């Protein structure tokens, strides 16, 4: 290898992308948030998601397993420090990783803040009356099961009957795809009909929610945890009309971590592909590339 190219590989900043869900997997389009002349871009499918095998697997699949995986990946790639980018569940994992390894994170770019607190999870309430494309959710369960919709889904998503699992997975996934954008995107709804995606997305997401992410309620916002990462430059991009991850959590993070830069996009929902959100995410990664 020429000396010049070797130096390029050593000194080009690396950015790691934590996808949403959990269970959502990466998409080649996720690279578009980063200027390839400024970053070495690292995308990886978390356990049981995307091209990770076995698909939709729940064994040894916890927040802290994923944090360990990310750190093993950093060491494997011989990266001393990297920039961290994550949206929705990816913001949860970004915060958890940064608090576990604060000396390895150069910057944080977060979108659609989610911290797995019981008070900030809308799914328990909204899965029963989701927008029209996902309305079938409430029809999966008998009336007596609807007292705890999360556990009702858990039972069906882990049923021995493959048809029951798939039906529940499609309904769960349709809910999130229907609520991700300010205006419902038919292509998002269509993805919920893909068997492998729906199973991984629904089973893993429900698995994490039922187990509260293997964290104390509100752990990621605790002062002693925020103090570990207070020195890290951080930008948050939040849609004002985000139903999946309501904006109040972003404001609460800003309250305990006033040093962060918070952008609230007035005409956006949850998806990173909302035009206003996408623009600010690209601007943020461009800004931090010089650190």
Separation of alpha carbons 173 and 12, rounded Å: 37
Catalytic residue among 270, 271, 272, 284: 270
Q: Do 230 and 97 lie in a common domain?
A: yes
Provide the whole-model pTM: 0.91
Q: What's the total number of domains in the chain?
A: 2
Q: Do 12 and 42 lie in a common domain?
A: yes
Q: 236 near 258, Cβ under 8 Å?
A: no
Average pLDDT over every residue of 254-269: 98
Q: 184 near 131, Cβ under 8 Å?
A: yes
Is-cis flag, bond preceding 33, omega within 30? no
Average pLDDT over every residue of 235-248: 95
Give the range of the structural domain holding residue 91, as residue numbers without chain letter.
3-118+216-288
Contacts for 245 with CB less than 8 Å, ≥ 6 apart = 88, 91, 112, 113, 114, 120, 270
Q: Do 250 and 194 lie in a common domain?
A: no
Condensed to tens digits (0 to 9), the pLDDT of residues 136-150 reads 455 565 554 556 788
Catalytic residue among 121, 154, 207, 242: 242
Give residue 127's pLDDT. Answer: 55
Give residue 148's pLDDT. Answer: 77
Separation of alpha carbons 150 and 162, rounded Å: 19
CB neighbours of residue 260 within 10 Å: 19
The pLDDT of residue 47 is above 90 = yes
160, 190, 213 — which closes off a domain? 213
Interior/surface letters 210-230, b for 16+ CB within 10 angstroms, e for the rest: eeebebeebbbbeeebbeebe
Separation of alpha carbons 175 and 131, rounded Å: 7
The pLDDT of residue 104 is above 50 = yes
Catalytic residue among 88, 94, 107, 284: 88
Q: What percent of the chain has pLDDT over 90?
A: 80
**What angle, 0 to 180 degrees and rounded to 10, lies between the N-to-C axes of helices 89-100 and 63-76?**
70
CA dist list (Å): 27 to 45, 51, 145, 191? 9, 10, 35, 12
Separation of alpha carbons 193 and 182, rounded Å: 21
The pLDDT of residue 130 is above 90 = no
Average pLDDT over every residue of 100-115: 98
Average pLDDT over every residue of 25-41: 97
Q: Do 172 and 187 lie in a common domain?
A: yes
88 belongs to the catalytic site: yes
The CATH number of the domain holding residue 236 is 3.40.50.1820
Give residue 12's pLDDT. Answer: 84
Q: Do 205 and 235 lie in a common domain?
A: no
Average pLDDT over every residue of 121-129: 51
CA dist list (Å): 257 to 108, 116, 250, 264? 13, 18, 10, 16
Structure token pair of residue 19: 């996808």
> How high does pLDDT run on average in the chain?
90
242 belongs to the catalytic site: yes
């Amino acid at each position: 290898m020429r000396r010049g190219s070797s130096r390029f590989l050593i000194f080009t900043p690396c950015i790691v992308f934590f996808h949403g869900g959990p269970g959502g997997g990466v998409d080649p389009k996720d690279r578009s948030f980063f200027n390839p002349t400024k970053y070495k871009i690292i995308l990886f499918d978390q356990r049981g998601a995307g091209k990770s095998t076995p698909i939709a697997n729940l064994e040894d699949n916890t927040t802290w397993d994923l944090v360990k995986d990310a750190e093993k990946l950093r060491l494997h790639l011989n990266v001393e420090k990297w920039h961290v980018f994550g949206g929705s569940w990816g913001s949860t994992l970004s915060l958890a990783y940064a608090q576990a390894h604060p000396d390895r994170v150069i910057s944080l770019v977060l979108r659609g803040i989610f911290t797995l607190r019981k008070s900030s999870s809308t799914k328990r309430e909204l899965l029963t009356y989701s927008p029209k494309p996902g309305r079938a959710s409430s029809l999966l369960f008998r009336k007596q099961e609807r007292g705890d919709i999360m556990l009702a889904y858990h039972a069906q998503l882990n049923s021995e009957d493959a048809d029951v699992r798939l039906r529940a997975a499609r309904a769960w996934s349709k809910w999130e795809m229907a609520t991700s954008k300010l205006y419902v995107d038919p292509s998002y709804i269509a993805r919920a009909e893909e068997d492998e995606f729906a199973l991984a997305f629904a089973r893993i997401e429900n698995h994490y929610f039922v187990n509260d992410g293997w964290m104390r309620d509100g752990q990621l916002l605790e002062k002693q945890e925020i103090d570990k990462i207070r020195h890290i430059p951080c930008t948050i991009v939040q849609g004002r009309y985000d139903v999946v991850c309501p904006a109040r959590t972003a404001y609460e993070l800003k309250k305990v971590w006033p040093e962060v830069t918070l952008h609230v996009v007035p005409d956006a929902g949850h998806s990173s592909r909302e035009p206003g959100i996408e623009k600010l995410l690209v601007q943020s990664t461009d800004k931090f590339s010089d650190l």
